[in-house]
Amino acid sequence: MEPERTAGTHDPDPSQAAGSAEPRMIARRRLLKFLAASPLVATPTVASAIASLLASAPGQALAQNYDVLRASRRALGPDGIITAPGDALNVFEFEPAAKKAVLSQDAPAHWGYLESGVDGDVTRDANHTAYQRYSLRVKRLIDARKVDSSVKVFGETWGSPIFICPVSSLGAYEPEAGVAVARAVGKRKHQMILSTVDNASIADVNKALGSPAWFQLYPTDDWAVTQALVNCAEAAGSPAIVLTVDRQGGRNTEDLFRARRLDQRDCTACHTPGFANDVSRKANFFDIDVSKVTNLYGTGMTWESVDRLRGIVKGKLLLKGIMTGDDAKQALSHGVDGILVSNHGGRAEESGQATIGVLAEVVDAVDGRIPVLVDGGVRRGTDVLKALALGATAVGIGRPYVWGLASFGEAGVDRVLEILGAEFVTIMRQVGALNIKEITRGNVTSAL
């Protein structure tokens, strides 16, 4: 990642940069700022485009531009909702835009599916609010002009520790589903995990990403299907299989059920009862015989099931849904290569336990022997740094990128990643961490 210019850094004298591209970059920024201030182009569409160009200019720190009166107003529509990705100030502003887009298609159940937790949404909301229990210790007088936010995971170099979590049925929000997400993710050199039941295939997603994505696995209750899914993902080049283990007990997605009451569509064309009909539209199940399957989630899984899966997975095997140190130690003893601390975005169980609240316990339990990733409730760059400080190797996002996808397609996903990335680099500078390895528990304190 290119180092960003520190807030307050002055543009150098062009006469001292002869033979370099610096004068041209300075001139470009000045021209864009002039245009942004001109009444001749003061329309929301043009202003948004100029804001995006300013944000992407080399050496320009997105979150550190204080010259707000000369830049775009980042206008809102008459309903107070952003009308272009470049208008968003933070990822939260994509949520109402996504809701508006989904409801404009008369699909309230699709919106209910995305937003629903379980029962009273206590765990869903706790995932985010729990980050407020942690504060960051900042450091002064450290030259933080050059910051490296890249991270290595299993030998892969990611441009950022922020990765894309699997979300099922992205085709409900964008026709290209995971392929549109992959293009945005690949552009910024992040990593993503594709859901077993996305509408796009792992092969197509890997091609769009430009490198192999990880594959999230719902194993079903038919071992032959489990093997076929693993073989398909590995044949497409995916280096890691991420087994979801938190859907054992069923769930009460109350918000979804409530939204379904309002949905007047005939949904049976896509949601015909029976497993074979349910997955017939899912690309990763094409050419797989699912006639004997009755359950997608493998609710009878045990640690012996993990052993059996370990025996066929050639690459890395991670467990997604671990929430205790005891289970993390068990995972180690069964040859797992990594753990994803997760409660399915608050959609697995109504425990009230936030993922950030158990992260340190899981990290301590594995004692550095395997990577520990985390997701759930991440909405700010500061959230990312807090999770890394508590020992996470990488930090996943779910709903925010789907809000971007639903509202503006690939461009929305790109903007969500841009905003979170800029916020993250900004707080890295404030805590004096010039690279990911310098983020430690000394950077965070807990109010508990």
Q: Mean per-residue pLDDT for 275-290? A: 88
pLDDT of 59 higher than 50: no
pLDDT of 25 higher than 80: no
Q: What are phi and psi of 435, to 5 degrees?
A: -155, 175
215/309 Cα distance (integer angstroms):
14
Q: What is the pLDDT of residues 378-413, one digit of tens each?
A: 999 999 999 999 999 999 999 999 999 999 999 999
422/264 Cα distance (integer angstroms):
41
Tracing tokens 């493998």 back to the chain, one arrives at 298
The pLDDT assigned to 361 comes to 98
Strand positions, DSSP E, 332-447: 338-341, 372-375, 394-397, 444-446
The answer to whether the CB of 215 falls within 8 A of the CB of 241 is: yes
Residues 6+ apart with CB under 8 A from 427: 136, 381, 382, 385
Binding site for glyoxylate, residues? 113, 218, 344, 347
Give 136's strand partners.
444
Structure tokens at 38: 């001109």
- Residue 392 Cα distances to 73, 129, 188, 356, 364, angstroms: 37, 18, 21, 10, 11
- Residue 308 Cα distances to 275, 330, 335, 338, angstroms: 24, 15, 11, 17
Active-site entry in 110, 128, 190, 344: 344
Which one-letter DSSP state was computed for residue 134?
E
pLDDT band at 336 (very low <50, low <70, confident <90, very high): very high
383, 387, 435, 411: which is closest to 188 by C-alpha?
Answer: 411
pLDDT band at 61 (very low <50, low <70, confident <90, very high): very low
The pLDDT assigned to 68 comes to 61
Structure tokens at 115: 């937003």
99/420 Cα distance (integer angstroms):
21
Active site residue 344: yes
Binding site for FMN, residues? 195, 216, 244, 320, 342, 375-379, 398-399
Q: Which domains does the chain have, with CATH numbers?
A: 1-75 (no CATH), 111-446 (3.20.20.70)
The pLDDT assigned to 268 comes to 79
The pLDDT assigned to 1 comes to 42
Q: Mean per-residue pLDDT for 7-11? A: 39
Of the chain, the percentage scoring pLDDT greater than 70 comes to 84
pLDDT of 332 higher than 90: yes
**Pairing state of beta strands 240-244 and 214-217?**
parallel
Binding site, residues? 113, 195, 216, 218, 244, 320, 342, 344, 347, 375-379, 398-399
Q: Mean per-residue pLDDT for 289-315? A: 94
218/247 Cα distance (integer angstroms):
9
The answer to whether the CB of 225 falls within 8 A of the CB of 307 is: no
Of the chain, the percentage scoring pLDDT greater than 90 comes to 73
Mean pLDDT of the chain: 88
The pLDDT assigned to 278 comes to 78
214/209 Cα distance (integer angstroms):
11
DSSP three-state, residue 243: strand
Q: Mean per-residue pLDDT for 4-26? A: 43
Global model pTM greater than 0.75: yes
